[in-house]
Amino acid sequence: MWYHRLSHLHSRLQDLLKGGVIYPALPQPNFKSLLPLAVHWHHTASKSLTCAWQQHEDHFELKYANTVMRFDYVWLRDHCRSASCYNSKTHQRSLDTASVDLCIKPKTIRLDETTLFFTWPDGHVTKYDLNWLVKNSYEGQKQKVIQPRILWNAEIYQQAQVPSVDCQSFLETNEGLKKFLQNFLLYGIAFVENVPPTQEHTEKLAERISLIRETIYGRMWYFTSDFSRGDTAYTKLALDRHTDTTYFQEPCGIQVFHCLKHEGTGGRTLLVDGFYAAEQVLQKAPEEFELLSKVPLKHEYIEDVGECHNHMIGIGPVLNIYPWNKELYLIRLFKEKQNTVNRQWNSSLQCDIPERILTYRHFVSGTSIEHRGSLI
């Protein structure tokens, strides 16, 4: 049944992509359904916020910042940030988790301003800032958006008039780099203007952002329509909407494109915000969103041209979400690389990219970078 539904989903998406939205704030969870009703609470006023807690036999329950949280005592002891348990220079825990008694329970708990102190049976003291506990609790994570985004279709993006960054400003000033990164993180695409048309300058800009990932194509490479590799990108055929490196187990997080030379006609670049499309599906067909986020698909790359012999397989659902807050973080979709879904996202934006750098989020999964210098 799911196969038939999945195979027809993309033909239905075109009707769903007519507007744009800002990524909505996640709703507050219903804590009454998460935790049993507590009877005896310790109440303490902490600045403008009220802190209340209750000790249970096997866990600690905390109310703070409009959030009700539950912490196992083992977790609280294991995550102690004292000098003997945590290396603040390497940001690594030093305590051996196996050495913690699974039945451990604090002897005393007290609050000093915004810090909770737990004294354990052996006399060791663990202290936690209340805001740190909210940030690192499961309940707090459910309310938190990992990466705020502005979702767009062609109309929204054009009206936003997102400015490009000049190459010199990008390379030589923190303000230029900050402007670029803000554009990229919010919209998923960003432009750098006036870049000399060489691979060396492309590499220099890419390294200004992050490390460049080594791939089967190398770190940096040219491509043109000479079919030197067994891929449609090396032909004059048009490429429909897709995400690249779907056949990697971890698809790239950022791609860098630089058009070095343009002869003839055509060669326009089609840009699509897949997060916008996914949000439309979530709002108008939530059952289909769930299907796309749960059913794994196989994307395959087979290359047997000249000296290039590669066979790669990446497996994962079309929509990848964080399980604790259902936030989308990656889309894996290329119809030529898989056989189940046979239509692509809609709501597109077209633009030319002559002699400038274009980077865009392939639905961010890290800080890896790929480069393609284009000879069209």
Contact 38, 103 (CB under 8 A): no
Token pair 């800032």 in the structure block, residue: 129
d(CA 292, CA 319) in angstroms, rounded, equals: 6
**Residue 74 maps to a domain:** yes
Provide the pLDDT confidence category of residue 229 given band limits of 50, 70 and 90. Answer: low
Q: Are residues 228 and 338 in the same domain?
A: yes
Distances (CA, A) of 34 to 57, 70, 132, 145: 17, 9, 21, 20
Angle CA 141–144–145, to nearest 5 = 130
Q: Are residues 133 and 235 in the same domain?
A: no
Q: What is the pLDDT of residues 172-208, one digit of tens each?
A: 999 999 999 999 999 999 999 999 988 889 899 999 9
**Residue 302 maps to a domain:** yes
Range scoring the smallest mean pLDDT among 21-35, 140-154, 225-239, 323-337: 21-35
Amino acid 28 reads Q
Q: Are residues 217 and 345 in the same domain?
A: yes
**Which one of 111, 138, 165 terminates a domain?**
138
Distances (CA, A) of 184 to 46, 80, 144, 193, 280: 38, 36, 20, 15, 21
Q: What is the pLDDT of residues 86-102, one digit of tens each?
A: 999 999 999 999 999 99
**Which one of 138, 173, 193 terminates a domain?**
138
Q: Which domain holds residue 134?
A: 49-138
Q: How many folded domains does the chain comprise?
A: 2
**Residue 255 maps to a domain:** yes
Q: Are residues 230 and 120 in the same domain?
A: no
Rg (CA), the chain: 25
Q: What is this structure's pTM?
A: 0.62
Q: Are residues 234 and 128 in the same domain?
A: no
Amino acid 54 reads Q
CATH code, domain with 247: 3.60.130.10
CATH code, domain with 113: 3.30.2020.30
Amino acid 66 reads N
Q: What would the mean pLDDT of 308-330 be, rounded to a whole number? A: 87
**Which one of 76, 107, 138 terminates a domain?**
138
Q: What is the 3-state secondary structure (H, E, C) of 78-143?
A: HCCCCCCCEECCCCEECCCHHHCCCCCCCCEEEEECCEEEEECCCCCEEEEEHHHHHHHCHHHHHH
**Residue 38 maps to a domain:** no
Q: What is the pLDDT of residues 33-60, one digit of tens each?
A: 333 333 344 555 445 468 899 999 989 9
Contact 314, 302 (CB under 8 A): no
